[in-house]
Homo-oligomer: A and B are copies of this chain.
């Protein structure tokens, strides 16, 4: 390990156990942390093209997975919350096809790919990690629908709704308010808009009493309405 003393416990798919060099992944097995290190806000954790024998997990804080495009733009694929694997592809790919940057103070755990792959060989495909793979696909399809066929408001609502839900599932929310470290620029790059457009959209949601984002905190004012606008369930 990198020499850290305490590892905060977070319920979820993965949990870095307090003070121990283990994490629990995909609901069941324990894995030895090959390495565990901290990173500061804005710090690059992995870069597209990097190669590593380890699989990366976020133990604490927020980060985001993204890619820069030639003209200077940036597309954010996911926000990584405590317990998230950087990408399911890491289980088989030794080369990263994306970059990851810390949004807050973060703790990054690494597990040897060899060891992880061995342990993931379960007698049934129904178990943990394969289902997790499939869940990621569904999430991705939703993002594609949002980007391809929904308005600016729908896309922002979808992002906020999903993040709220994920925070809720990990028990990281206090009532209807929780820290939200992403800036307008990050939201913009996640939903394919500009920061200015995001600002206007957020203003409308605030005035409509659905949710309010300010001073680094997100407050949910009307969850039902947020779900209605942000769930994007495809039909037929």
Contacts and interface: CB of A to CB of B under 8 A. Distances in A.
Interface of A: 47-48, 67-70, 73-75, 77, 87-89, 91-93, 97-99, 117, 120-121, 123-126, 130-131, 133-134, 136-138, 140-141, 143-145, 147-150, 189, 191-192, 232-236
B117 A77 contact: no
A64 to B, nearest CB: 13
Contacts of A69: 145, 149-150, 232, 234-235
A211 to B, nearest CB: 21
B77 A141 contact: yes
Contacts of A70: 233, 235
Nearest to A123: B121
B141 A67 contact: yes
Nearest to A70: B235
Looking at chain A's contact residues, the main secondary structure is mixed
B235 A126 contact: no
A144 B236 contact: no
Contacts of A98: 141, 234
Nearest to A141: B77
A91 B125 contact: yes
Contact of A149 (B124, B133, B192, B233): B192
Given A48-B235, A89-B134, A92-B134, A144 B141 contact: no
A92 B192 contact: no
A120 to B, nearest CB: 6
Nearest to A98: B141
Nearest to A122: B121
Contacts of A88: 133-134, 137
A21 B75 CA distance: 44
Contacts of A89: 134, 137-138
A150 B71 CA distance: 10
